[in-house]
Structure 1
Amino acid sequence: MICALGAAICFGTATVLQAMGARRAATTGAGGDAALLLRALRDWRYLAGLALDGLGFVLQIAALRSIPIYAVGAALASSLAVTAVVAARLLRVRLSGAEWAAVALLCVGLALLGLASGAQGGRPGSTALKYAMLAAAVGVLLLGTVGGHLRGRSRALLLGLGAGFGFGVVEVSVRLIDGLTPSALFTDPATYALLLGGGAAFLLLTSALQRGSVTTATAGMVIGETIGPGLVGVVWLGDRTREGLTWLAVLGFALALAAALTLTRFGEPPPPAPTSP
């Protein structure tokens, strides 16, 4: 659980640092997206954000190999709260009373979930489940094709959900990988499901945020990457709660998810500040 929360802190802080780097790059010169990215890559804050993203991914893998998927998913959703708090401090973003309450509620939900979570399920993933994850990753790509032809909130919601499903494929696939040796990785369908699912999720989320409601897309992503993978862990991989505390885990999960959805406007860094005339 410490690794999962550490990953959330890394992801949430990285979002703010990358926003600061992008703001700096946008105010120091003109040019298209490529020029902006090159200038951002010369900013230490942007690079620090990328490093934190890498560290967060390593911590996420460690958590997924140790505790139930539903606990990791809820913890990762708390990265939105981290972004909100850090943005309030470093970017002078004002949080409403409801958003501060959501941050507190999310902490309570995670505390309850941590108390109720049992050991990771010991049921090995079947070969059929690995191929199902690979098929799901392909399905995410197809969903992106359909969603790309929609408009408005329905487009953002569908692409956000698809991105969440893709990240969910990554979460489940990490549990399904049998070994970390090169020969085991190259022959394991779960490895390809992880790569395809992660890549598809990134593409869909980027597309959703480019033309659509950030809040709607992020809400869809949070729902897709928490509920589905958590159910897979419980039904097929044997994830359980501590004896007699299932109700507490359900309550904690619901509180954390509701609080994260309240903070979905922080799913994308704030836009760059306008340049001075």
Structure 2
Amino acid sequence: MICALSSAVCIGTASVLQAVGARAAQLGTGSGVDVALMLRALRQWRYVAGLALYGLSFALQIVALLTIPIYAVEAAQAASLAVTAVLAARVLKVRLRGTEWAAVTVVCAGLAMLGLSVGADGRSDGPPALRYAMLGVAFAVLLAGAAAGRLPGRARALVLGFGAGTGFGVVSVSVRLLDDLAPSALVANPAVYALLLGGGTAFLLLTSAFQRGSVTTATAGMVVGETIGPAVVGVVWLGDRTREGLAVPAAVGFAVAVAGALALARFGEPPAIAAAAGPADAP
């Protein structure tokens, strides 16, 4: 659980660092967001530090997924929005509404309930068909994302965000299905290909959602997609459980943490936060 929460802190901090780095690159040239902006941002140490934190976050997430149930890890990942919100208020001078401060508190309360009730991860490797099912879901998300591009604005952002969250969920479940790390076993394991396809598709869809729709709507869809489905798979097929007699507090904590994250959905895409703060608030 410490690894899962540390991963969330890394993600939330990385988001703000990259926002500051991207803003500095823009202010230094007066240019808009384009390919050259990425190259300029890479010359900002905060942006590079954000990338490093993303890598550390993924490593911590893998450790957590191999140790505690998926539902706890995914709830903690969604809680990174609370970290981003608090840091954005301090660093980017973004004004948080009273309801958003309450949402941060709700997220923390939900995670505390989860931390007290979470058990060890399930020992089950799941049915063999589950690996192929994850690969099929990854393909389905890719196809659905391509079709979603023709939807109207708000619906498009929601579907693309949900598809991205589902792709990230495929990654989480696939990590649990890597029961043998020998190179020959990895090549023959469909979960490896599901992990790669699901992760790549998720980033592609999320980028499209942010570029072509509401950040808040897309992030809300992503939070739902990356938490609920993987949690169900973990409980039903992988044997994830809570501590004895604490199933209800765990379920309530999960629901509360996810609901709080949804209330903070506007912090899902940090460059948008930086733009919203305005030049007058630039550090």
Deviation digits for residues 169-211 of structure 1, max 9, x if unmatched? 0010000011223222222111110000000000000000101
When structure 1 is superposed on structure 2, of 176-185 and 62-71 the one drifting more is 176-185
TM-score normalised according to structure 2 size? 0.95
2:72 match:
71
In the TM superposition, residue 31 of structure 1 has moved relative to its aligned partner by 6.6
Deviation digits for residues 13-60 of structure 1, max 9, x if unmatched? 000000001001111123761211110000000000000000000000
AA aligned to 1:185 is L
1:24 match:
24
AA aligned to 1:206 is T
| Residue 265 of structure 1 pairs with residue 266 of structure 2 | yes
Contact 1:27 1:274 in 2 (8 A): no
Please give the residue correspondences for 1:125-164 in structure 2 after superposition, counting only pairs within 5 Å. Answer: 125-164=126-165
In the TM superposition, residue 166 of structure 1 has moved relative to its aligned partner by 0.2
Contact 2:71 2:231 in 1 (8 A): yes
Contact 2:20 2:274 in 1 (8 A): no
In the TM superposition, residue 136 of structure 1 has moved relative to its aligned partner by 0.4
2:243 match:
242
Deviation digits for residues 59-114 of structure 1, max 9, x if unmatched? 00010011000000101111000000111111111111111111111101000011
Please give the alpha-carbon distance, in whole angstroms, between the structure 1 residues aligned to 2:6 and 2:181: 23
Please give the alpha-carbon distance, in whole angstroms, between the structure 2 residues aligned to 1:184 and 1:6: 30
In the TM superposition, residue 146 of structure 1 has moved relative to its aligned partner by 1.2
Contact 2:65 2:175 in 1 (8 A): yes
With over 3 angstroms needed to count, the CA separation of the structure-2 counterparts of 1:104 and 1:275, relative to structure 1, is closer
The list of structure 1 runs, each at least 4 consecutive aligned residues, that deviate by more than 3 angstroms after superposition, is 271-276
Please give the alpha-carbon distance, in whole angstroms, between the structure 2 residues aligned to 1:146 and 1:69: 29
Please give the residue correspondences for 1:55-204 in structure 2 after superposition, counting only pairs within 5 Å. Answer: 55-204=56-205
Please give the alpha-carbon distance, in whole angstroms, between the structure 2 residues aligned to 1:142 and 1:87: 35
| Residue 210 of structure 1 pairs with residue 214 of structure 2 | no
Please give the residue correspondences for 1:25-64 in structure 2 after superposition, counting only pairs within 5 Å. Answer: 25-29=25-29, 30=31, 33-64=34-65
Please give the alpha-carbon distance, in whole angstroms, between the structure 2 residues aligned to 1:13 and 1:185: 33
AA aligned to 1:236 is W
Cα RMSD after superposing both structures = 1.3
When structure 1 is superposed on structure 2, of 24-33 and 243-252 the one drifting more is 24-33
SS for the counterpart of 2:243 is: coil
Please give the alpha-carbon distance, in whole angstroms, between the structure 2 residues aligned to 1:32 and 1:139: 31
Please give the alpha-carbon distance, in whole angstroms, between the structure 2 residues aligned to 1:107 and 1:253: 11
Contact 1:161 1:217 in 2 (8 A): yes
Between the two proteins, the alignment pairs up a number of residues equal to 276
AA aligned to 1:26 is Q
SS for the counterpart of 2:13 is: helix
Report % sequence identity: 68
AA aligned to 1:20 is V
Please give the alpha-carbon distance, in whole angstroms, between the structure 2 residues aligned to 1:61 and 1:259: 24
1:15 match:
15
SS for the counterpart of 2:28 is: coil
In the TM superposition, residue 275 of structure 1 has moved relative to its aligned partner by 6.8
Deviation digits for residues 191-249 of structure 1, max 9, x if unmatched? 11000000000000000010111111000000000000000000000101111111101
With over 3 angstroms needed to count, the CA separation of the structure-2 counterparts of 1:31 and 1:96, relative to structure 1, is closer
